[in-house]
Amino acid sequence: MLLILALAVLVPAVIADVVLDRFQNSGDEFAYFFQAKMFAHGQLWASAPPLGDTFVPYRTWIIGDKWLSQYPPGWPLAMAAAIMAGIPAWCVNALLGGICVAALLSREWGHRDRAIVLMVGVLYVLTPFYLMNAGSYFSHMLPALLITLLCLMCLWYQRERRTLALIISGVLVGLIGLTRYFSLILLLPALMYWWIRECRHDRLRVLGVVLVSGIPFLAILMTYQYWITGSPFHNTYSLISNDDTFVSFLPGAVTRGALLTFYRFGELTLWAVPLLVPTYLFCMASKLRNRSIAFYDLIFPSFVFGYVFFADLGGNRYGPRYYFEAFPMMFVTLLSAAPQAGQWARELFHRRLGPHLTLTSLVYLTTALPFTAVAYHRQVVSREEPYRLVAARRLHDAIVIIESSSGRGLDAEDLARNDADLDGSVLFARPGTTPDQLHQLYPTRSIWAYDREDPHKPGNLKPVP
């Protein structure tokens, strides 16, 4: 158990440090990090910089006199708390991942065969899907942990009817809503199933305690939205769109979302264990046949169904990242179905194919991870090229106009990354910025331009007269 937990923390931390170079490898990740730094300094936003969005990277926006991120505050608050405690932001997800794995392997689930529990834990921890997301700055690890803990609290209440379990559940529900709105919506079917089935005699009490415990977080979210958007009922995505909704029910969008579901499952097969999806489907069929479906078994299907109406893969990602928050629940379903899958399945797993399937999966994981690590390290090195060229030339008191992408999928607008106070030795400007504007505003700074005409060849950093 201790070895699994050590792997769950240390391997993603090494990936974040060595493979991903502590780099925010997407515009989303930088926006979260930018927001976290603001919170850590006691600010909700930065003052709008000069020249409009010249020094503003993608996914952060200028709204009036505010420079801010478009995302909900939950995950940046968690990173900000870590920064204030002296914990580097790049390893926060690894620490949360370790806690999530501990919760996943907890005895509170009622799994009796500890050997199978530990084996499944090893398979989960070694999947590139877990390791790369736990090494990133993406927000998905926090709600994955919160969802896992919420399920444990519901099980605790089922057994002991403790009010404390309901209070903690309400807090967890509030934190999930504060982090990712859509994830909370997708949790509702499972929570409703649990409430109707397991709380027959005290439904009003359960609902009341959970709501009262979660309302403070709703108030925080609505206050934050009011300060940002001017209305407590407009989420922060309205900064970039007049439509506050996440999903589309238009036939064309739903059809595309349904097709993307097959693509996401293909990605999941590659990023996890290839046998995971068929084994999971077999276990779900077994639980349906035995009428033993638990509320937590509904969480992953709810995410799959919900994202049919969100026809987007998420751009830069490590696997089908919108499924990651429900990913631990797939393994909970596998473990809970093991004693119920029938004598034939148990004998097949334990005596005949079990060791071979486990060995095959471990071989796949240990061989897939190095290729994944090498590929993404090359991607990060390519995307960091403007900053590496600046360091190699030892530029000081300069501005670099990012004229083109640095290769491998990160747009030029994503690379104009600066601290909120714009006091860096070197500033980075968006493409299309004219040198005359920069000279007028910063007469002492030299002006440079980064360009990479061929994505397969190194870029150039040259002075601008």
What is the pLDDT, as a whole number, of residue 272?
A: 92
Distances (CA, A) of 113 to 110, 119, 120, 283, 337: 9, 10, 11, 16, 12
Q: What is the spatial distance between Cα 424 and Cα 455, in angstroms, rounded to a whole number?
A: 28
Per-residue pLDDT tens for 141-200?
Answer: 999 999 999 999 999 999 999 999 999 999 999 999 999 999 999 999 999 999 999 998
User: How many other C-beta atoms are found inside a 10 Å radius of the C-beta of residue 414?
Assistant: 25
User: Beta strand pairing status for 60-63 and 446-451?
Assistant: unpaired
Strand partners, 143: none
What is the pLDDT, as a whole number, of residue 14?
A: 97
Q: What is the spatial distance between Cα 22 and Cα 94, in angstroms, rounded to a whole number?
A: 12
What is the pLDDT, as a whole number, of residue 343?
A: 53
Residue 342 has pLDDT above 60, yes or no: no
Per-residue pLDDT tens for 373-418?
Answer: 999 999 999 999 999 999 999 999 999 999 998 877 788 999 999 9
The tokens describing 364, both together, are 């796949």
Residue 457 has pLDDT above 90, yes or no: no
Q: Which residues of 66-105 are buried (b: 16+ CB within 10 A; e: fewer)?
A: ebbbbbbbbbbbbbbebbeeeeebbbbbbbbbbbbbbbbb
Q: Which of 202-216, 229-243, 365-379, 426-440 has the lowest mean pLDDT?
A: 229-243
The tokens describing 323, both together, are 């499924």
Q: What angle do CA 381, 385, 387 make, to 5 degrees?
A: 115
Residues comprising the chain, all counted: 465
What is the pLDDT, as a whole number, of residue 326?
A: 97
The tokens describing 22, both together, are 């502590």
Which pTM does this prediction carry?
A: 0.94
Per-residue pLDDT tens for 216-242?
Answer: 999 999 999 999 888 898 888 776 665
